[in-house]
Every structure is written in structure tokens, then in C-alpha cells.
Amino acid sequence: MTVNKNQLILISLILVFIGITVLSLLPPKSGVELGKHDKINHFIAYAVLSFNYGLVVKKLRKHLWGLPFLIAYGLFMEFCQGFVPGREQSFLDAMANSFGVLIGFLSNWIFLRNIKKT
């Protein structure tokens, strides 16, 4: 069975989505340590999610329509963390998630725009 480029991109998006969900809902004493740069980790994770989403949908308008859903997902993950023992909701984490989504969108737009020129 061969996998084409579009399938790999979709698999990447799904894995990033699952990874964010799992890491967001793991208790802090789970043995998975992501370092001390919590806000940067949030930013990068959601930027990668948004960038990959843009590679899957490919059209600017569809990516724009998806932004509120990606931001809502980040806010929902922060909300859910309030129910995980040892975790807490964080406004700054929610902001890092949202900002990551926006930067991921802009990066994708610039990337695809430059690809089309070549």
C-alpha cells in the first residue's frame, strides 16, 4: 500500500491533534516532561496544528473558516485541564494556543503563497 503526499499531510494533522489532546489531558506526574517553557510549547503545538490544517484544506477561505474552530479547540483543552488532577486552567496558556493558531495560519499562507510563485 502506498501513501501519497496528501494522505501523509492528513495523517500528520491527525497525529498533531491527538498529540495535543493527550498531552493536554495527562496529569503532570505522568512521566512525560516537556520542559519549563510551557507557553512556548503551547504556541508551537497550536502553530503546527494550524499550519497542518492549512496544508490539508489548501484554500485560504476554508483555512479562515477553520481558525475559530482551532482557537475554540485550544480554549476547550484549557477548560478540560481544570478537571485533570494536578492541572489547572491558564488564561496565558489559552492565549499562547490562540496566538499559535494565528501564527500557524500566517506561516501557512506565506509558505503556500511562495510555493505558488515558484
Q: Full-prediction pTM beyond 0.85?
A: yes
- Span 49-94, pLDDT tens digits: 999 999 999 888 888 999 999 999 999 999 999 999 888 899 999 9
- Span 99-112, pLDDT tens digits: 999 999 999 999 87
First to last CA, the chain: 31
Select from 113, 22, 3 the least CA-distant residue to 59. 113
Which amino acid does the sequence have at 76?
A: F
C-alpha to C-alpha distance for 50 and 13, rounded to whole angstroms: 9
**34: pLDDT strictly greater than 60:** no
pLDDT of residue 59: 84
Domain ranges of the chain: 5-117
pLDDT of residue 28: 78
pLDDT of residue 118: 62
Categorize the per-residue pLDDT at 4 as very low, low, confident or very high, splitting at 50, 70 and 90. Answer: confident
Residue in the structure block whose three cell numbers are 480554549: 75
